[in-house]
Amino acid sequence: MRAGLAELLDGLPSRQAAQAVERLIASYRGRTPTDAPVLRDRSDVTAYAAYRMPATFEAVSAALGEFRDTMPHWAPDSHVDIGGGTGAATWAVAAGWPGGRYRTTVLDWAEPALALGAELAGKSGTTAALREAEWRRAVIGDGLRLPGTDLVTVSYVLGELTGADRAAVVEEAARAGQVVVLVEPGTPEGYLRIRQARDRLTEAGLRTAAPCPHSGRCPIEPGRDWCHFAARVGRSSLHRQVKGGSLPYEDEKFSYVVATRLPAAEPGGAAEPGRATGDGPGPESGGVTASGAAGADPADAGTAGGPGAQGAGGARVVRRPQLRKGQVLLDLCTPEGALRRETVTKRHGARYRQARDTDWGAVWPPPGREEP
């Protein structure tokens, strides 16, 4: 993918690319919902692909990775990417199930995006699912109809839609898909869209597989906090030109939900058997501040192995762990549907070492390990 994107940048005037990217950033952040395609012509599509595809790929890959951890023996036979544009999510699915012989259909209302996506996919070498994907123009909104499919992805699309179209797309994805993956920017607005979509998915009978360790009501108080995570992305010359700075990477903040009709275990639990299938520096501090947990009175916070640790199995780390002298503070969303802070100290031995190695967004305690 990156090799193909590098070829696109060779013929792109830098000033034109930067101007197109600035306009696209506003749409990507969810401030300009519309009933028309955001990607209007070849220059828009090229700028978007060069600037956003790597970040979208990493965010969707992270979400898919969390789902695969719950069902390592499952793989899709079919995949539909709604609003897939140039196909970043389709590349992420191909990376998640390499060698898979599933059918992929990419739907988008912007013909220039579909054409460029098909061009890039045609250069994918040995990835048959990409080369053979169907790229089809469709109106993304009310009236969208999907065939029954194993996997549906909808990434960085909901913010482009009106409220009615957003609801229609989520409901159709829930009707047609066995597994539905939704990804939005890691902003308060993006989180609210994911939260609303998650409610629709669970009302339709799906269960949450990630990141939530439960299918109940989200415990975060809207307006005070938001749930999001981060994926590290290598920065291109276009990134550095538009955003400034000299670091070779940046952290893509995203909110997501994976919901399924499959009999998947809750995050951190053993996966149900399905169909058999053939790092750099950590991101900056972020994530939700656990209401009643982060910043809470230390007397109310549990410690590993103590009363406050009950129910921590299969919890999700919703903020970058805080490393302090002799202790690690983990802000968790628990299987009981609550937010809680766990303090792990040196006296907990191996569990303390696990905590020091635990990343923002991971399951706690790490699955497959005996608790010390």
Tally of CB atoms within 10 A around 302: 20
- Say if residues 304 and 343 touch (Cβ distance below 8 Å): yes
Contact 242, 198 (CB under 8 A): no
- pLDDT value at residue 200: 98
pLDDT in tens, 121-169: 988 776 889 999 999 999 999 999 999 999 999 999 999 899 999 999 9
Q: Percentage of the chain surpassing pLDDT 90?
A: 57
Q: Is the pLDDT of residue 309 over 50?
A: no
How far from 270 is each of 85, 178, 250, 274, CA to CA, in Å? 35, 19, 33, 12
Whether 320 shows a pLDDT value over 70: the answer reads yes
Res. 18: pLDDT tops 90 = no
What pLDDT was estimated at residue 254?
97
**C-alpha torsion sign, points 347, 352, 356, 359:** negative
pLDDT given at position 270: 42
The reported pLDDT for the residue numbered 40 is: 61
Residue 292 pLDDT > 90, yes or no? Answer: no
pLDDT at 235: 74
Q: Where does 30-150 have alpha helices with state H?
A: 42-70, 88-96, 111-121, 128-131
pLDDT at residue 279, rounded to an integer = 34
For 298, other C-beta atoms within 10 Å of its C-beta total 9
pLDDT at position 369 is 57
For tokens 């955001």, the residue is 38
Quote the pLDDT of residue 266: 45
Query: Region 265-281: what's the mean pLDDT?
Result: 40
* Spatial separation of the C-alpha atoms in residues 250 and 297, rounded to whole Å: 34
301 has a pLDDT exceeding 90: no
